[in-house]
Structure 1
Amino acid sequence: MITLRQLEYLVSVVEEGSLTRAAERLYVTQPALSHQLRALERSIGGPLLERLPRSVRLTPMGRALLPHARAALDSVRQGQAAARQAAGAEAGELRIATLHSVSLGVLPPALRVWRRRHPGVRVHLVEHRNSGELAAAMGEGRADIAVGPPPVGWEGPVCVLGVEEFLVVLAAEEPGPATAHGDGGPPRIGLAGLADREWVHYGPGNGLAVVVDDACAAAGFRPRAAVRTEQTASAPVLAAAGLGPALVPANIVPVAFGGRLFRPDPPVQRVLAAYTRIRPDPLTDAFIDLLQREASMMPGHVRRQLEGG
């Protein structure tokens, strides 16, 4: 019979990369850990891990079992959280998966309010480089909720938070439209007029690299990179320093900022959503509700609410 403890041991070994570190994390002896893993392998009917001199590697059977093990552990945690909420207990853990750019924008104000209202709930935030990694992590049960662009064909519940606007950042001394737009916002700028510039671009693993490439392709050119950064927060700073134009989410631009801001014409936008694998438990549902309210008040967002999945 397979036990949750055995599944927890397997997941811990995979995440730590060795039996020794997993045993330390779980506060058990390494022989006890190995015994439970062997029992799990007997129940499954074959080896799950290949023991290497300094690490371990999943076998094909292990790779097939891992997402189900994570999903089983996730369901138990969600059940615990739901039970605590039903009993009126303000305790538990909320695991949030997101993108680096989103963790700089919509999430901080929401987490600040959440922490004030639910001090007994631990928050585990994991940031991913792009939407594909985010959806994969959520599909494998590594989080209670994902916050980012909604994946195509997602079968679980999806709550659209809004449309994230992007801005072009230039150094203060660089040429560009000199007058503000009539509505009081940043002036507009056509990306085609920046085709001959070298850009502050993102590394290939950063999901914003695709946003930049697609926007420039729509304007008829492929951007040449003066510098590439994996850190989303660095892009507006590097652009303001004169290294080239950058396209950044509006809500990550620092308050004290020395560069010039422009709105792309046509606009560059990205839908953001909160999505889960199954119907949210009360704890997760409360966070989604808070996230909706906070997102609606942020600059660079147009509030739209939609339930689906």
Structure 2
Amino acid sequence: MATLRQLEYLVTVVDTGSFTRAAEQLHVTQPALSHQVRALETALGGPLLERLPRAVRLTPLGRAVLPHARAALAEAARLDAVARRSAGLDEGELEVAVVYSVSLGVLPPVLRTWRRGHPRVRIRLREYPHTDDLQAAMAAGRADLAVGPAPTGWEGPVRELGVEEFAIVLPADDPLAASPDGTLALGELADRAWVHYSPGNGLADLVDRAWAEAGLRPRIAVRAEQTSAALLLAAGLGPALVPANIIPPDFDGAALRPDPPIQRTLTAYTRTRPDRLTTAFTDLLARQAQVVPPHFPAGRPPAGPTAAP
């Protein structure tokens, strides 16, 4: 059976690129390191590393094992942190995984409040472009808490934070910006070239679905990797759909509610029942997160959501 020490040795050899450097970093002798790696290979049924003259290379079995080794080490570190927190220590590290847009809109004010109340707790933020990536990262044990769209088929605890609204962003001088009720049908923009998201970003799926439901196949002016880039580019290159919570109160463009509205539910979820520190952060998130900002135009009552990854 593989031990955590053996997994640590394997990961360190891979990360440093040599047995010599790994032994130095781990403060063990090279023969002892080699012995433990060979013992791991015996336990797992085959060679994990190919020893080259000046490097090491993962074998196919090694490539399959490495992600699980990293996940096991990360989970062990989190177990240690949980144990210390359960003992009443208000310190440690909380790993939070999010999709890109959440780190721009919902999370910053929550983190500011959290920092004031828990100055000795470090927050490590992990960002992912798509909810599928976020869910896979959580399943692999890379974070304590995930914040993003509702996960599919998730067996752990899930807490709903609210229904996120999306806005059509236009330059302030656009003829369609002066909507009397703050709403705009996507069909009104059928002849426009849009600011879109790069493939792999979950918002690209949301926008494609919204266009399909409206019967549109618009032209693309430019694709943006990040949600914030789409907000900036829309100021002059074309309309864009962005989460309303990333739009600042002093935004100098126009932010209109699509008619019908485009929405998605945001959640916070964990693999198992969360410890006290994770629960405290989730409680703060549920209380303070402005999923729909107060300065977003009221528009018409929602007619039904367009859910998306």
TM bucket, shorter chain: 0.7 to 0.9
Contact 2:165 2:292 in 1 (8 A): no
1:4 aligns with 2:4: yes
SS of the residue corresponding to residue 233 of structure 1 reads helix
- Taking the aligned partners of 1:150 and 1:25, their CA distance within structure 2 comes to 45
Q: 2:288 aligns with which of 272, 280, 294?
A: 294
Q: CA 1:17 to 1:266, structure 2 compared with 1: closer, same or farther past 3 Å?
A: farther
- Taking the aligned partners of 2:285 and 2:275, their CA distance within structure 1 comes to 15
- Taking the aligned partners of 1:157 and 1:128, their CA distance within structure 2 comes to 20
- Taking the aligned partners of 1:287 and 1:201, their CA distance within structure 2 comes to 33
1:207-246 residue pairs with structure 2 within 5 A? Answer: 207-240=202-235, 242-246=236-240
SS of the residue corresponding to residue 163 of structure 2 reads strand
Contact 1:74 1:144 in 2 (8 A): no
Alignment TM-score, normalising by the size of structure 2: 0.84
Contact 1:177 1:188 in 2 (8 A): no
| Cα distance, 1:77 vs structure 2 | 3.0
Q: Which residue of 1 aligns with 2:100?
A: 100
Q: CA 1:215 to 1:107, structure 2 compared with 1: closer, same or farther past 3 Å?
A: same
Q: Which residue of 2 aligns with 1:184?
A: none
1:250 aligns with 2:244: yes
Q: Deviations over 1:217-266 (max 9, x none)?
A: 111012321011102101111111x2000000001113332211100001
SS of the residue corresponding to residue 247 of structure 1 reads strand
Q: Which residue of 1 aligns with 2:265?
A: 271
- Taking the aligned partners of 1:153 and 1:21, their CA distance within structure 2 comes to 45
| Cα distance, 1:23 vs structure 2 | 3.4
| Cα distance, 1:38 vs structure 2 | 2.9
SS of the residue corresponding to residue 176 of structure 1 reads helix
Q: Which residue of 2 aligns with 1:189?
A: 184
Aligned residue pair count: 294
| Cα distance, 1:179 vs structure 2 | 4.2
Contact 1:165 1:269 in 2 (8 A): yes
Contact 1:95 1:125 in 2 (8 A): yes
Q: Which residue of 2 aligns with 1:201?
A: 196
Contact 1:19 1:30 in 2 (8 A): no
Contact 2:147 2:266 in 1 (8 A): yes
1:82-97 residue pairs with structure 2 within 5 A? Answer: 82-97=82-97
Q: Which residue of 1 aligns with 2:307?
A: none
Instruction: Name the amino acid aligned to 2:118.
Output: H
Contact 2:164 2:292 in 1 (8 A): no
SS of the residue corresponding to residue 174 of structure 2 reads coil
Q: CA 1:76 to 1:245, structure 2 compared with 1: closer, same or farther past 3 Å?
A: same
| Cα distance, 1:10 vs structure 2 | 3.6
Q: CA 1:5 to 1:257, structure 2 compared with 1: closer, same or farther past 3 Å?
A: same
Q: Which residue of 2 aligns with 1:43?
A: 43
- Taking the aligned partners of 2:53 and 2:188, their CA distance within structure 1 comes to 57
- Taking the aligned partners of 2:268 and 2:8, their CA distance within structure 1 comes to 26
Task: Between 29-38 and 139-148, report the one with greater CA deviation.
Answer: 29-38
Instruction: Name the amino acid aligned to 2:78.
Output: Q
- Taking the aligned partners of 2:24 and 2:274, their CA distance within structure 1 comes to 28
Q: Which residue of 2 aligns with 1:23?
A: 22
Contact 1:70 1:141 in 2 (8 A): no
Instruction: Name the amino acid aligned to 1:113.
Output: T
- Taking the aligned partners of 1:131 and 1:21, their CA distance within structure 2 comes to 40
Instruction: Name the amino acid aligned to 1:85.
Output: R
Contact 1:81 1:283 in 2 (8 A): no
| Cα distance, 1:114 vs structure 2 | 1.5
Contact 1:197 1:224 in 2 (8 A): yes
Q: CA 1:293 to 1:218, structure 2 compared with 1: closer, same or farther past 3 Å?
A: same
Larger Rg: 2
Alignment TM-score, normalising by the size of structure 1: 0.84
Contact 2:163 2:292 in 1 (8 A): no
1:111 aligns with 2:111: yes
**Which consecutive unaligned segments of at least 5 residues does structure 1 have?**
182-186, 302-309
Contact 1:168 1:248 in 2 (8 A): yes
Q: CA 1:107 to 1:26, structure 2 compared with 1: closer, same or farther past 3 Å?
A: farther
| Cα distance, 1:19 vs structure 2 | 4.3
| Cα distance, 1:81 vs structure 2 | 2.6
1:174 aligns with 2:174: yes
